[in-house]
Structure 1
Amino acid sequence: MHRKSLLAARTGGALSAVVLGSLLVAVPQAAAADVTCSADVYKRTFYKNTSFSGSPVRTDCDSAISQSWSGSPVSGVPSDNFGVRWSVTRDFGSGGPFSFTASATDGVRVYLDGARKIDLWKGTGDTARSKSVNLTVPSGRHTLRVDHVNWSGAAKVAYTYTPRTSAAYDRTKPFAPTGVRTAYNTTTRRTTVSWTANKEMDLANYSLYRRPVGSGTWTKVATTTARSFTDPLVNPDDRTPYYYEVRAKDKAGNTSSGSTDTVVRPLPVVTELTGTYDKATGKVSLKWPLNTEPHFDHYTVLSNDKVDGYWVWVPLGTTKGNTWTTGPVVADGEWGHYRVLVTNDGGTTTYNPNRLDATATNEVWLEIPDGIGPYYAPDLTLGSCTGGIRATASDSTPAPIRDFTGFEIERREVGTSTWSVVLHQGYDPRLDPATASVCDPLPAEGRTHEYRARTYDAAGNYSPYSEIR
């Protein structure tokens, strides 16, 4: 006997028959290309028979089951004796009581996880009939399937599943929200809390709660249908770390337990900063109250300095203590500006604007004394005056840029080491050059006086001495 070859094509599980020798063998039948639908959207398949056998003629997506066909529903499907199947797998959250309602001409069956819940499987012509059942859907993911067949006439089918939201039936608490995230804004000092949408189909709203770390008392911050909220806690002096949690409420009034607590640690701040300048060492010493918050990590000390022609905040270093001594600072009669930042154990640091801020508690403006004397020595001339020697000090520096406020002239007797001040006075700013003079009595018979001069500024700094005359 001649034996025929076996020819088969794999197609999604539907089978056809071929002959192998004298045997009739079932083999897979070609099927339409599979389709992936969005979450919670039905996959719909059309068959040109009422047994849902063979390859689907067409597969597509359908957001709702509510159809009325007076003839062929799609190309390739006859007007009579065809079947349509819808299926979807979705997350029902905590589950609970639901109503399943189906309406159709001819046959319709509804399945939950393969178990038949509605069975209307009878020819009705063009007259539709309906049925509703109340049931409890367990929590988690479940598959719904709706089969509809049209034997003749118009094809009408509709199906809905809705949660029963009356408190008389629904005593199932929603699941606690998940995916809670917090973001603390160091500029506005506000915390934004966001979370993932609940899977519940009967969700009414969310409530956001806050409590200080170390306290067991929760305070409701807000009730919202959104999935984020910015806490209006804006007291800039509040350095308390807080826990946040979110609770979900359904339309029956059931409230979930709280989400996993998420801690937010508003930044500790320096509440007072003081500074002193030590003229002997030329150093600046800073001091502030030591932060004791559990989420405190360290301080960063900065100085406002000129870099490449711009004034910027330059870090001097970090410390866990509450004092800082700078290196020697040039005394120049101007102001030094210092700032101390706080970093918490989450790595977030106090807001640090580029500008100076005279009202900031973590910033100090310190006047650095003028320790730089006039640069040039004055000229000194000697002449005679009635009964003595006229000593005159002068300086020809233009008035707008003079860095001294007066002259000092000293005298000593030749052969001694002690100088005496014979003049210490300001100059007439109207004169140019600036001058000051004194008529000093003549020395005793046989003795000689030497003179020298210098200028001084308002801070008591002196210029070099002139030549001795």
Structure 2
Amino acid sequence: MRQKSLLAARTGGAMSAVVLGSLLAAAPQAAAADVTCSTNVYKRTFYKNTSFSGSPVRTDCDSTISQSWSGSPVSGVPSNNFGVRWSVTRDFGSGGPFTFTASATDGVRVYLDGVRQIDMWHGTGDTARSTSLNLAVPSGKHTIRVDYVNWSGAAKVAYTYTPRISATYDKTKPLAPTGAKTAYNTTTRKTTVSWSANKEMDLASYSLYRRSVGSSTWTKVTTTTARSHTDPLVNPDDRTPYYYEVRAKDKAGNTSSGSTDTIVRPLPVVTSLTGTYDKATGKVTLKWPLNTEPHFDHYTVLSNDKVDGYWVWVPIGTTKGNTWTTGPVTADGEWGHYRVLVTNDGGTTTYNPGSLDATATNELWLDIPDGIAPAYAPDLTLGSCASGIQATATDYTPAPIRDFTGFEIERREAGTDTWSVVLHQGYDPRFAATATVCDPLPADGRSYEYRARTYDAAGNYSPYSELRAMTVPVG
């Protein structure tokens, strides 16, 4: 028991060894607390052996591998016969050609994703030796591990990995920048674009481009090493929308494709407008996506009404919400027309043309059913088509007072009484009120008669058009 007592006294009373028969065996080392290192910083672990076995004596972070120890590197690790391991996982962006360089006394090994790339594993005494390796690193995230052992004497180790920036070797384009965002200032009427840091290690610069919506020509705004820029262009009226994109360039001169185009609308816009008519209350409820732009202020809701004999857009209210319920609307069987405008915090409002706009996303054409049949018959024309007779029905009623939702065309053989429906089709009220069909018929010289009518949402039909007749030539 005297050996145990002496050992306990030397360690301040803590038991660090046990007696197994006549042999003295070291107790297992307590596991070092794990650490989390910053992005692209190595995790470093120290071992008191050269096999990297057991729990590490110490774990910390190391920004670079460049060490020279003349004795014990850290407390608890011997001066000789110890091991140090570094590891880091980082994003190499598009990857490309790299140079791995290692210098060390005694043993050093370098791994990429677990595959050994550098192997210098023999004693050197106090004289360090070095080596370099050129290799291609694939795109994306990869793990580098460096194992170093010191058997005796001075302990020196260094390792670096650097991109090869010569255009002779580097033909890999950088990845397109990501995270592009825009912010529009309604006071200065200028746009600021920002984006995320590129993952490339050999990045040289970013270039910012702009083009107006509807144009295919990009204009370079600036080249910068920063990750944001305010376009000096002053938007003339707060209404002209532009696209922006960012491109990255590396030190070898390779240029990436553009980032995802980011559109800047100085005025927030209503991207879609829907509505329903409640027969019980006679009211129309409108809905649209709520704008979240920081420079959004409010909406103005309008209806297209007849005033002093003219159809004009009449404001019926303002709101910051994304729904609106009108007062009772007369069920006249015609189409109701509604529009929602946006005003930004600079006081500029969406352009509001006096006429109906068939392509506007902020405009709704809604049928207000009245249960009364459409009053007028459509026009009908006939012509030839590849397999028979082309029949076309057209209604020329002005858009604001159309009271139907679709067309029906019928056909019968001349001299008979039986009619067949060859077309029953709704139409988009935003565009021309017309419908056409190619009616397949045998080329046998027989004659056919056609008539057309319109129908409303309640299933009521207009009067028929005049009969039109046509003979199919003998094939």
TM class, shorter-chain normalised?
Answer: 0.5 to 0.7
Deviations 1:311-360 (A, max 9, x none): xxxx996537786699xxxxxxxxxxxxxxxx998x5615139xxxxxxx
> What's the C-alpha RMSD, in Å, of the aligned pairs?
3.1
The equivalent residue for 2:59 is 59
Distance across 2 between alignment mates of 1:200 and 1:235: 34
Distance across 2 between alignment mates of 1:247 and 1:121: 44
1:147 paired with 2:147, answer: yes
The equivalent residue for 1:173 is 173
Unmatched tracts of structure 1, length 5 or more: 1-27, 270-296, 298-314, 327-342, 354-361, 363-469
Letter in 2 for 1:239: R
1:37 paired with 2:37, answer: yes
Size of the alignment, in residue pairs?
A: 270
Give the TM-score normalised by the residue count of structure 1: 0.54
The equivalent residue for 1:352 is 347
Shift of 1:31: 2.2
1:161 paired with 2:134, answer: no
Distance across 2 between alignment mates of 1:201 and 1:130: 23
Q: Is the 8 A contact 2:40 2:89 kept in 1?
A: yes
**3-state DSSP of counterpart to 1:34:** coil
Q: Pick the structure with greater CA Rg.
A: 1
Letter in 1 for 2:347: N
Letter in 2 for 1:319: L
Distance across 2 between alignment mates of 1:220 and 1:251: 19
Q: Is the 8 A contact 1:267 1:344 kept in 2?
A: no
* 1:333-352 paired onto structure 2 within 5 Å: 349=344, 351-352=346-347
Deviations 1:211-254 (A, max 9, x none): 11111111111111111111111143363211111111101000
The equivalent residue for 2:231 is 231
The equivalent residue for 1:319 is 302
Shift of 1:34: 1.1
The equivalent residue for 1:107 is 107
* 1:358-377 paired onto structure 2 within 5 Å: none
* 1:137-286 paired onto structure 2 within 5 Å: 137-237=137-237, 239-267=239-267
Give the direction of change, closer, same or farther, for the CA distance of 1:41–1:260 in structure 2 (3 Å limit).
same
Give the direction of change, closer, same or farther, for the CA distance of 1:145–1:184 in structure 2 (3 Å limit).
same
Letter in 2 for 1:38: S
The equivalent residue for 1:127 is 127
The equivalent residue for 1:118 is 118
**3-state DSSP of counterpart to 2:344:** coil
Letter in 1 for 2:344: T
Distance across 2 between alignment mates of 1:242 and 1:44: 49
Q: Is the 8 A contact 1:102 1:160 kept in 2?
A: yes
Q: Is the 8 A contact 2:96 2:136 kept in 1?
A: yes
Deviation above 3 Å: which 4+ runs of structure 1? 315-326
Q: Is the 8 A contact 2:47 2:83 kept in 1?
A: yes
Shift of 1:167: 0.4
Q: Is the 8 A contact 2:105 2:123 kept in 1?
A: yes
Q: Is the 8 A contact 1:268 1:344 kept in 2?
A: no
The equivalent residue for 1:84 is 84
Distance across 1 between alignment mates of 2:171 and 2:36: 35
Give the direction of change, closer, same or farther, for the CA distance of 1:47–1:348 in structure 2 (3 Å limit).
farther
Letter in 2 for 1:43: K
Q: Is the 8 A contact 2:46 2:57 kept in 1?
A: yes
Distance across 2 between alignment mates of 1:31 and 1:100: 32
Shift of 1:30: 4.7
The equivalent residue for 1:283 is none
Give the direction of change, closer, same or farther, for the CA distance of 1:320–1:166 in structure 2 (3 Å limit).
farther
Q: Is the 8 A contact 1:239 1:268 kept in 2?
A: no
**3-state DSSP of counterpart to 1:319:** strand
Give the direction of change, closer, same or farther, for the CA distance of 1:261–1:121 in structure 2 (3 Å limit).
same
Give the direction of change, closer, same or farther, for the CA distance of 1:133–1:344 in structure 2 (3 Å limit).
farther
Unmatched tracts of structure 2, length 5 or more: 1-27, 270-290, 292-297, 305-311, 317-338, 353-475
**3-state DSSP of counterpart to 1:245:** strand
Shift of 1:146: 0.3
Distance across 2 between alignment mates of 1:248 and 1:175: 7
The equivalent residue for 2:71 is 71
Shift of 1:189: 0.7
Shift of 1:135: 0.3
**3-state DSSP of counterpart to 2:148:** strand
Give the direction of change, closer, same or farther, for the CA distance of 1:317–1:158 in structure 2 (3 Å limit).
closer
* 1:4-15 paired onto structure 2 within 5 Å: none
Give the TM-score normalised by the residue count of structure 2: 0.53
Distance across 2 between alignment mates of 1:237 and 1:213: 15
**3-state DSSP of counterpart to 1:55:** coil
Q: Is the 8 A contact 1:88 1:144 kept in 2?
A: yes
Shift of 1:186: 1.0
Distance across 2 between alignment mates of 1:316 and 1:59: 59
